[in-house]
Structure 1
Amino acid sequence: MTSKPYLTGHYTPVADEITATGLTVEGTLPPELTGRLLRNGHNPKPGVTPTHWFKGSGMVHGIRLREGRAEWYRNRWVHTPALEGAPYMTDRGPDLAASTAGTHVIEHAGRLLALCEANLPFELTPDLDTVGAHDFDGKLRGAMTAHPKEDPLSGELHFFGSSPFPPYLMYYVADAKGAIVHSGEVPGATASLKHDFALTRRHVVFIEGNVTFDPAEHSGIPYSWSDRQPARIGVLPRGTDGARHVRWFTIEPGNMLHVSNAYEDGQGRIVLEGPTVDRAGFELSWNWWVGAPGRGSEPNARSYTRRWVIDLVDASVDEQIIDDLAVEFPTLNEDYLGAENRYQYAISFPDEKGFGGYGIVKYDRTTGARRIHQVGDARLPGEAVFVPAAGGTGEDEGYLLTVVSDLKQDASQLLVLDASGLDRIATVHLPRRVPAGIHGSWIPDSALAATQF
């Protein structure tokens, strides 16, 4: 039996690919939930023990809902060269197709893309079969972030590619039809790890924390905390020449993996929020990710939501931790991406002393209220994906979809919650326990209208 924490408990990989139909539903599924919930995560093949959680091969789990029914569940590895053992580093440099493809799965312009930030995206069919690496007709020559942002107004996909070697940061825009219409290097960037970024109505915001490239780190992910690496926020205007006008602002030491949201407030300042860790918090998570012996703490144990307010006029940044609950995987109603939002959602975790627990959190940024939906003992919910209700006009009129790993029952369920009050609406019983994963998306049938589904 392995001692690696990311191969045990909620994270224990499954050994095969299956398809099950006619899933049991408790409660009533809203008929407008007609589409697919896709969820990606690291799931190494049997007999493979990666040196880091992030090195496990990607597996996408899909749940097909249609007009009040749960038609199927299926899971498929993303069949990249890395799944068969191909190395990322070769004599000719990195093989961008040798991807784990295990961090996220999105839809853009009718394509389903499995993502890992060090590689090219991989296209999937609606039944989760692997099509192959997607390089945007040859216009993407480097890696693509696992956290692209689709502008809810224009349908454009904004994304970046980062590298430990120059050019350190490339910024891209693909139009609503999936063609790259802009690419350019962002000057002044460093080898700092850039996992996520933010998009506002007028700006693109990059976050460089204290975690940076370290060739002496031998876990397979060559990054570590460095007090010499400055923590900064980079702001550039949106537009084809915006990168030439990037401005960098020094912030307090820390590291952010995931952005909650960002927007311009009434005074033109940029407000940016998301969970962050200090050095101790990063090291707790890293020790779990690499399976360091004697380290019992779970990841995200010191991950607290932070807010930065960036004044572009006087070149100042005000920052503060705004909540004392350990959370990660922030989400929102993506119609509000880049605009001022009232509600945010996240997953809570036990803190470093074991207090607290797993749950689904809703924040009201106007009142400061925090509500938690407790999922129960030995149950870990995944990232809660917001889906708007049909005809809804309020920001929180919709549903949260989350896949729960249940160790006591050795099972998993898809929970459908009312996003306004976090009450359970329906439970879909899945045919197996789904390992705790990372990110996913709700893909309505309308997004795949040109595809046979």
Structure 2
Amino acid sequence: MTTQPTTTTPTTTTQTTTEPTTMKPTASYLTGRLAPVPDEIDAIDLPVEGTLPPELTGRYFRNGPNPRPGEDGGHWFVGHGMIHGIRLRDGRAEWYRNRWVRTKRFAGAPYVHERGVDLAAVPANTHVIRHADKILALVENGLPYEMTRELDTVGPCDFGGRLATAMTAHPKEDPITGELHFFGYGWAKPYLTYHRLSAGGELVESRPIDVPGPTMAHDFAITRHHVVWLDLPVVFDFALVGRGMPYRWDDAYGARLGVMSRATGDVRWFDIDPCYVFHVGNASEDDHGRVVVDAVRYSPGAFCGFWPTIGGAASPAAHTGGAALHRWTLDPATGVARDEQLDDLDVEFPTINETRTGLTSRYVYAVGKDAIVKYDTANGTSRAHQTGERSPGEAVFVPAPDAGAEDEGWLLSIATTEHGAELLVLDASDLARVASVRLPRRVPAGFHGSWIPDEAP
């Protein structure tokens, strides 16, 4: 079916949850493209430029921090979660809406009270995924919150009382078994715990992982037979509690990657040069039994330069450099980890065709300041789609129905300026612009999202 581009003016309604106040932000994470929006709105019949593929029938949801007017939590990572949603159907952009995730923290509950820690009182502001019959808003230091397909908050989810830790914002769904692998970390022992959900959404395994101390374990990876842990030198510091994110760089901690057998739980650790990783692209096993991990790596100087700009603790380390795509090859025969920089472009938010999660994959997508980049790791090349003045967000891969090639599908990304935003739709094979949806408001730069097709539960 061929649908003509929509040109109608969107109809917009607004819902405010608090009396608007004049915000006078001074922190960098409350200004410019990171500046929060003050309310929730609905808009229908969004203008489309180009032609939306009719196969894109579903919802694109993207999460990110958005404090209410007048609030400043001291760090970009701690604002209340807000999900921005765009409904596409049969070549039309039917609606846009944005909703705060109404956690117990949103209602004013403290994270720590006289009975201990309340994992439901954490802003669920980092990711939104679907697994089994649930749509979950995620944050790495709290419980997931279930949402409806219309972005109403259902409530915290602990999988029938079985989840006793936080849940990472970066779970990995095994494309073969349908299981969801994830972990929780915290400042008290056990510092790291591995969890596994069945394809039906039942928590079937929880296993403590022995690590020396509490670190900010933002991401991890899976392969067909292993889980890959990132034990890196950004550590919890009690002296920073109450000052945003209580984590800082620690040269003394060291850096290592752990390869855990999914069958036995045994972990083998590989020392690596000090660095930090927020996001993994993918991991897999090669024909020689080695584990290959592609991720965006921050040098000590790059991390220590970036962290204070979003409210983190300053460090005496040199503030130089950016983050670049790297590959580690972990060889169980030698016990050595080989580190290879794949490119020198400053990028973040690596994504892949998730039907290849944990399996050998060729393509990694990432975003720079003004471009969406496609890496071909088989031949060492890359290409970029320039977005001009609009800063692109994470590019989510949507596979085409009955796709024959790994890169046959589309990329969805919210590109934003200080004044407006659009949903970009690119051809994932060559990064050609297919269509764009003009959104009815500016959308703050945020974190992660998912495409939820209509046939999904």
Alignment TM class, shorter chain as reference: over 0.9
Contact between 1:285 and 1:301, CA under 8 Å: does it hold in 2? no
Structure 1 match to 2:255: 231
2:398 to 387, 403, 407: 387
Report % sequence identity: 53
Residues 95-136 of structure 1: CA deviation (Å, up to 9, x unaligned): 100011000000000210000111010000100000000000
Q: 1:275 is paired with a residue of what secondary structure?
A: strand
- Asked whether 1:431 is paired with 2:454, we answer no
Q: CA deviation at 1:11?
A: 0.9
Structure 2 match to 1:111: 134
Aligned partner letter, 1:223: Y
Aligned partner letter, 2:397: F
1:367 to 374, 379, 383: 379
**How far, CA to CA, are the matches of 1:445 and 1:371 in structure 2?**
31
**How far, CA to CA, are the matches of 1:365 and 1:45 in structure 2?**
42
When residues 41 and 301 of structure 1 are mapped into structure 2, their CA distance, relative to the original with a 3 A threshold, is: farther
Q: How many corresponding residue pairs?
A: 429
Structure 1 match to 2:13: none
2:416 to 386, 389, 405: 405
Contact between 1:23 and 1:70, CA under 8 Å: does it hold in 2? yes
**How far, CA to CA, are the matches of 2:144 and 2:77 in structure 1?**
16
Contact between 1:234 and 1:248, CA under 8 Å: does it hold in 2? yes
Q: CA deviation at 1:76?
A: 0.3
Aligned partner letter, 1:236: M
Contact between 2:244 and 2:312, CA under 8 Å: does it hold in 1? no
**How far, CA to CA, are the matches of 1:235 and 1:300 in structure 2?**
30
**How far, CA to CA, are the matches of 2:161 and 2:312 in structure 1?**
38
2:350 to 311, 324, 330: 330
Residues 29-82 of structure 1: CA deviation (Å, up to 9, x unaligned): 111101110000000001111211111100000000111111110000000111
**How far, CA to CA, are the matches of 2:160 and 2:305 in structure 1?**
41
**How far, CA to CA, are the matches of 2:310 and 2:354 in structure 1?**
29
**How far, CA to CA, are the matches of 1:54 and 1:29 in structure 2?**
33
Residues 138-157 of structure 1: CA deviation (Å, up to 9, x unaligned): 11011000000001111100
1:347 to 360, 367, 382: 367
1:268 to 273, 285, 289: 289
Structure 1 segments of 4+ aligned residues over 3 angstroms from their partners: none
Residues 183-239 of structure 1: CA deviation (Å, up to 9, x unaligned): 111124531221100000110000011111111225221110001112011111113
**How far, CA to CA, are the matches of 2:222 and 2:129 in structure 1?**
17
Aligned partner letter, 2:411: L
Aligned partner letter, 2:430: G
Contact between 1:3 and 1:291, CA under 8 Å: does it hold in 2? no
Contact between 2:245 and 2:312, CA under 8 Å: does it hold in 1? no
**How far, CA to CA, are the matches of 2:159 and 2:320 in structure 1?**
34
Structure 2 match to 1:179: 202
- Asked whether 1:418 is paired with 2:427, we answer yes
Contact between 1:104 and 1:440, CA under 8 Å: does it hold in 2? yes
- Asked whether 1:305 is paired with 2:321, we answer no
**How far, CA to CA, are the matches of 2:25 and 2:216 in structure 1?**
29
Contact between 1:211 and 1:255, CA under 8 Å: does it hold in 2? yes
**How far, CA to CA, are the matches of 2:312 and 2:353 in structure 1?**
35
Contact between 1:174 and 1:181, CA under 8 Å: does it hold in 2? yes
Contact between 1:213 and 1:224, CA under 8 Å: does it hold in 2? yes
**How far, CA to CA, are the matches of 1:188 and 1:332 in structure 2?**
29
**In terms of mean alpha carbon deviation, does 220-229 or 393-402 score higher?**
220-229
Aligned partner letter, 1:333: N
Aligned positions of 1:93-108 closer than 5 A: 93-108=116-131
Q: Could you tell me the TM-score, scaled by structure 2's length? A: 0.92
Structure 2 match to 1:451: none
Q: CA deviation at 1:22?
A: 1.0
Give the aligned CA root-mean-square deviation in angstroms.
Answer: 1.5
**In terms of mean alpha carbon deviation, does 59-68 or 307-316 score higher?**
307-316
Q: CA deviation at 1:282?
A: 1.1
Q: Which structure 2 residue ranges, 5 or more long, are not aligned?
A: 1-23
**How far, CA to CA, are the matches of 2:335 and 2:295 in structure 1?**
21
Contact between 2:211 and 2:231, CA under 8 Å: does it hold in 1? no
**How far, CA to CA, are the matches of 1:341 and 1:442 in structure 2?**
20
Structure 1 match to 2:7: none
1:441 to 439, 442, 450: 450
**How far, CA to CA, are the matches of 1:2 and 1:171 in structure 2?**
39
- Asked whether 1:204 is paired with 2:224, we answer no
**How far, CA to CA, are the matches of 1:362 and 1:102 in structure 2?**
27
Q: 1:263 is paired with a residue of what secondary structure?
A: strand
